[in-house]
């Protein structure tokens, strides 16, 4: 895969036409004929021609192509050309009717089978399939769990199986659908029917899992460039996210269609109300809403101009709305894959679009807590932790976001020049002493057998004598006020990054209290430097330079004495040689 195969974001360039020669095909009509006469396009994009050719020749294919790249044609055209019916497995039940309508409008013969149909409706589709009158049959994955469906498919003629949104088979992914595990039946029952799996997810792990679970060992793999050059990536420190969102829309996206993702249903509702109250037309979408209302909101978003859809991640897969001008996240996504998919819904028409994420300390606390309290074994938690760490690294990077994002998918390229970090490179500073102050505070509380959340730790550091602090006697701690050199906001930024770097953990009981991790040892021991990023805030002015402030913070005189006690307390004898000389405030 090269640096610049064309993709959805970019208008197709001259010379990217790959005509399929008629001689290569069993049919007199060529793929290119179908592209022009049925779909009305004049040339293939990217790998489309080769993918179609592969399936036409009866070979399996695995297609990793970004959202909007044009995956549908990769199975629709072979389905129109090969004898029999192309069976498309899709989790998007709500969109099946739309897809079938769109194909019918083009003169293709298409139908679907899912749980929303009445018996007569289903019969009609089954009869058409058995009579060989369908080019395409869309199937919800759970249908394959019904023995009649398998018998039905065996009784008719299947030309190919297309497994759309194939990443849903990944148990570790962000979109796991247990029904996808049924798809092994395809290879077992129809070993001679070609299968094409398609997804906009591209990590090695997910691709490997798709190959393994769908038995695509002999498939040809096609990987497109995942770069979406028309999307500007921005990640902002979270202050008051709804106000920040309104500011963003008013400043740059008045009258534009957009999607706003929130973690909770409650937050979806509140945010939609907030936007409407500020004159921005917004609709809500989450799994807790009645299905008809959800469907109505979705179709208004698709058909009307300038509507903002506020939603949980239940919304968006398979939505083909080309002119979504911005995707905003008010909460941290759980993984880079999720972030990439969700932001990928912006700018499918190739015009400039914004991906904006508000991210703060509370996000890290909340996500770590969710992982700890989630069901699943240790391996599952490790995997989720790794996903989160990669997402945090993207948030905290001081280099180009796009480079970081593509690197995650194993692709490389130069700095983009239009993401927030390219446009306003954040300073990094030596936050070692600041980190030591935070860690020491947590350590001192742990020594007393206590754990507190970030807010309390920041109050101690800044020397704020709140009633809670004084009643607990925390104003007597040696660390009380050692952080007066930075503001509370700056300390929260420091704590957030220390959490992101894994030097602190969050309790699993659900209170968000902080605890030291093993990784904190070398930092407290003065053996490891901590680099921190200085948040670039568009509104708040910078008051002081943390780098300078951190540099003049000296060790307290009795640090050595405390270190001794501390070593004893931490059972340092157990790991004699590697024991760090703790620097404790």
How far apart (Å, rounded) are the C-alpha atoms in residues 270 and 242? 9
Question: By CB under 6 A, is residue 5 in contact with ligand ADP?
Answer: no
The correct pick among 51, 61, 73, 479 for binding ligand ADP (CB under 6 A) is 73
CB neighbour class for 555 (10 Å; exposed up to 12, middle 13-18, buried from 19): middle
Alpha helix (H) residue ranges in 234-377: 241-252, 265-277, 291-303, 336-343, 361-373
Total of residues contacting Zn ion (CB under 5 A)? 5
How many CA within 13 A on the CB side of residue 512?
14
Least CB distance to Mg ion at residue 453 (A): 42
**Residue 29 or 567 with smaller CB distance to ligand ADP:** 29
The values of phi and psi at residue 31, to 5°, are -60, -40
Question: By CB under 6 A, is residue 68 in contact with ligand ADP?
Answer: yes
Using an 8 Å Cβ cutoff, are 89 and 100 in contact? Answer: no
How far apart (Å, rounded) are the C-alpha atoms in residues 74 and 301? 27
Question: Residue 427 has what DSSP assignment?
Answer: P
**Residue 71 or 402 with smaller CB distance to ligand ADP:** 71
Question: By CB under 5 A, is residue 234 in contact with Zn ion?
Answer: no
Using an 8 Å Cβ cutoff, are 75 and 55 in contact? Answer: yes
- Residue 320 binding target from Mg ion, ligand ADP, Zn ion, none, CB below 5 to 8 Å by type: ligand ADP
Question: By CB under 5 A, is residue 570 in contact with Zn ion?
Answer: no
Q: Cβ atoms within 10 A of the Cβ of 478, count?
A: 15
Least CB distance to ligand ADP at residue 34 (A): 11
Tell me, residue by residue from 68 to 97, as one string, x for binding to Mg ion by CB under 5 A and - for no binding: ---x--------------------------
Least CB distance to ligand ADP at residue 45 (A): 4
**Residue 266 or 423 with smaller CB distance to Zn ion:** 423
- Residue 402 binding target from ligand ADP, Mg ion, Zn ion, none, CB below 5 to 8 Å by type: Zn ion
* Residues 306-325, interacting with ligand ADP (CB under 6 A): 320
CB neighbour class for 173 (10 Å; exposed up to 12, middle 13-18, buried from 19): buried
Question: By CB under 6 A, is residue 6 in contact with ligand ADP?
Answer: no
- Residue 68 binding target from ligand ADP, Zn ion, Mg ion, none, CB below 5 to 8 Å by type: ligand ADP
Nearest Cα to Cα of residue 310 among 345, 338, 339, 273: 273
**Residue 317 or 395 with smaller CB distance to ligand ADP:** 317
Query: At a CB cut-off of 8 Å and minimum separation 6, what does 142 contact?
Result: 115, 179, 182
Angle of helix 401-408 relative to helix 378-396, nearest 10 degrees? 150
- Residue 285 binding target from ligand ADP, Zn ion, Mg ion, none, CB below 5 to 8 Å by type: none
* Residues 375-404, interacting with Zn ion (CB under 5 A): 400, 402
**Residue 342 or 490 with smaller CB distance to ligand ADP:** 342
Using an 8 Å Cβ cutoff, are 346 and 354 in contact? Answer: yes
**From 1-9, 60-68, 367-375, 410-418, span contacting Zn ion (CB under 5 A):** 410-418
**From 68-76, 135-143, 332-340, 429-437, span contacting ligand ADP (CB under 6 A):** 68-76
Nearest Cα to Cα of residue 329 among 386, 279, 258, 269: 258
**From 70-78, 174-182, 494-502, 509-517, span contacting ligand ADP (CB under 6 A):** 70-78
Residue 349, both tokens: 């028409």
Question: By CB under 6 A, is residue 69 in contact with ligand ADP?
Answer: yes
* Residues 422-441, interacting with Zn ion (CB under 5 A): 422
The correct pick among 6, 10, 31, 44 for binding ligand ADP (CB under 6 A) is 44
Least CB distance to Zn ion at residue 402 (A): 5
For the chain, state the CA radius of gyration: 27
Question: By CB under 5 A, is residue 406 in contact with Zn ion?
Answer: no
The values of phi and psi at residue 189, to 5°, are -85, -30
- Residue 400 binding target from Mg ion, ligand ADP, Zn ion, none, CB below 5 to 8 Å by type: Zn ion
- Residue 41 binding target from Mg ion, Zn ion, ligand ADP, none, CB below 5 to 8 Å by type: ligand ADP
Least CB distance to Zn ion at residue 359 (A): 17
Question: By CB under 6 A, is residue 41 in contact with ligand ADP?
Answer: yes
The correct pick among 67, 114, 312, 513 for binding ligand ADP (CB under 6 A) is 67
How far apart (Å, rounded) are the C-alpha atoms in residues 565 and 284? 56
Nearest Cα to Cα of residue 164 among 223, 220, 87, 225: 87
Using an 8 Å Cβ cutoff, are 200 and 70 in contact? Answer: no
- Residue 422 binding target from Zn ion, Mg ion, ligand ADP, none, CB below 5 to 8 Å by type: Zn ion
DSSP 3-state of 274: helix
The values of phi and psi at residue 224, to 5°, are -90, 165
CB neighbour class for 260 (10 Å; exposed up to 12, middle 13-18, buried from 19): buried
The correct pick among 32, 65, 89, 499 for binding ligand ADP (CB under 6 A) is 65
Total of residues contacting Mg ion (CB under 5 A)? 1
Q: Which residues of 68-83 are buried (b: 16+ CB within 10 A; e: fewer)?
A: bbbbbbbbbbbbbbbe
Alpha helix (H) residue ranges in 57-143: 72-81, 93-105, 119-130
Question: By CB under 5 A, is residue 416 in contact with Zn ion?
Answer: yes
Question: Residue 290 has what DSSP assignment?
Answer: -
- Summarize as ranges the residues that interact with Mg ion (CB under 5 A): 71
- Summarize as ranges the residues that interact with Zn ion (CB under 5 A): 400, 402, 416, 419, 422
- Summarize as ranges the residues that interact with ligand ADP (CB under 6 A): 41, 44-45, 48, 65, 67-73, 320
């Amino acid at each position: 895969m090269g640096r610049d195969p064309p993709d959805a974001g970019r208008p197709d360039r001259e010379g990217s036409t790959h005509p399929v020669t008629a001689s290569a095909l069993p049919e007199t009509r060529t793929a290119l004929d179908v592209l022009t006469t049925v779909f009305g396009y004049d040339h293939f994009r990217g790998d489309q021609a080769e993918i179609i050719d592969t399936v036409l020749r009866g070979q399996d294919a695995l297609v990793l192509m970004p959202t909007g790249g044009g995956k549908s044609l990769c199975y629709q055209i072979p389905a129109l050309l090969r004898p029999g019916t192309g069976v498309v497995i899709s989790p998007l039940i709500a969109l099946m009717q739309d897809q079938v309508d769109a194909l019918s409008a083009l003169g293709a013969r298409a139908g679907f089978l899912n749980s929303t149909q009445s018996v007569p409706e289903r019969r009609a589709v089954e009869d058409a399939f058995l009579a060989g009158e369908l080019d395409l049959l869309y199937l919800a994955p759970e249908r394959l769990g019904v023995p009649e469906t398998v018998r039905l498919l065996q009784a008719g003629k299947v030309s190919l199986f297309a497994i759309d949104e194939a990443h849903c088979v990944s148990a570790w992914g962000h979109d796991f659908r247990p029904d996808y595990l049924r798809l092994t039946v395809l290879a077992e029952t129809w070993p001679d029917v070609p299968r094409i799996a398609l997804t906009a997810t591209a990590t090695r792990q997910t691709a490997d899992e798709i190959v393994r679970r769908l038995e695509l060992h002999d498939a040809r793999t096609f990987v497109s460039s995942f770069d979406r050059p028309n999307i500007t990536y921005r990640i902002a420190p979270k202050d008051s996210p709804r106000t920040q969102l309104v500011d963003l829309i008013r400043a740059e996206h008045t009258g534009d269609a957009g999607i706003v993702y929130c973690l909770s249903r409650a937050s979806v509702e509140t945010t939609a109300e907030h936007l409407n109250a500020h004159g921005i037309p917004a609709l809500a979408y989450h799994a807790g809403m009645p299905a008809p209302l959800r469907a109505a909101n979705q179709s208004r978003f698709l058909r009307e101009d300038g509507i903002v859809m506020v939603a949980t991640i239940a919304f968006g897969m398979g939505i083909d709305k080309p002119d979504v001008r911005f995707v905003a996240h008010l909460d941290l996504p759980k993984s880079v894959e999720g972030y990439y998919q969700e932001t990928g819904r912006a700018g499918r028409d190739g015009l400039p679009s914004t991906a904006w994420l508000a991210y703060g300390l509370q996000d890290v606390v909340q996500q770590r807590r969710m992982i700890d309290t989630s069901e699943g074994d240790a391996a599952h938690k490790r995997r989720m932790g790794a996903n989160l760490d990669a997402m945090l690294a993207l948030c905290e990077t001081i280099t180009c976001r796009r480079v970081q994002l593509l690197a995650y998918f194993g692709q490389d390229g130069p700095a983009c020049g239009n993401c927030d970090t390219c446009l306003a490179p954040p300073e990094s500073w030596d936050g070692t002493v600041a980190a030591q102050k935070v860690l020491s505070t947590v350590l001192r509380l742990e020594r007393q057998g206590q754990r507190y959340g970030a807010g309390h730790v920041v109050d101690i550091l800044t020397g704020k004598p709140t009633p809670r602090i004084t009643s607990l006697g925390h104003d007597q701690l040696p660390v009380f006020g050692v952080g007066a050199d930075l503001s509370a906001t700056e300390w929260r930024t420091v704590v957030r990054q220390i959490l992101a770097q894994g030097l602190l953990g969050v309790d699993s009981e659900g209170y968000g209290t902080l605890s030291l991790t093993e990784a904190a040892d070398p930092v407290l021991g003065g053996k490891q430097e901590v680099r921190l990023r200085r948040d670039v805030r568009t509104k708040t002015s910078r008051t002081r330079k943390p780098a300078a402030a951190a540099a003049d913070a000296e060790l307290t005189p009795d640090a050595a004495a405390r270190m001794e006690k501390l070593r004893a307390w931490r059972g340092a004898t157990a790991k004699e040689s590697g024991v760090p000389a703790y620097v404790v405030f």
